[in-house]
């Protein structure tokens, strides 16, 4: 079963953590439908919004790996299974 969802990512210390985040996002590119990334210089963070379409397991693996990176916060909302 596939689910449609939104993943919000906040990255502190962008210079150090962004390469790790981008590596993970690249490896899950098959479930990423869209991506919007903005540096918020006044707050010293970067914010990424993803639209994802995939299985619970695949989306959970993506968000879990991102959440394990120091200084990276991840939240998501998913549609009902279809």
What is the Cα–Cα distance from 36 to 32, expressed in whole angstroms? 11
Q: At the top level of CATH, which class does the domain 3-78 belong to?
A: alpha beta
pTM of the entire predicted model:
0.92
The 10s digit of each residue's pLDDT in 20-68 is 999 999 999 999 999 999 999 999 899 999 999 999 999 999 999 999 9
What pLDDT is recorded for position 7? Answer: 98
- Residue spans per domain, the chain: 3-78
Distances (CA, A) of 55 to 4, 29, 32, 48, 77: 9, 13, 12, 21, 13
Contacts (Cβ under 8 Å, ≥6 apart) of 59: 3, 5, 7, 31, 52, 76, 78
């Amino acid at each position: 079963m596939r689910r449609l969802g939104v993943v919000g990512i906040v990255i502190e210390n962008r210079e150090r953590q962004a390469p790790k985040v981008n590596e993970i996002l690249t490896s899950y590119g098959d479930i990423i439908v869209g991506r919007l990334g903005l540096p918020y210089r006044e707050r010293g963070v970067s914010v990424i919004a993803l639209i994802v379409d995939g299985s619970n397991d695949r989306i959970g693996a993506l968000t879990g790996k991102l959440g394990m990176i120091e200084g990276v916060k991840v939240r998501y909302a998913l549609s009902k299974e279809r």
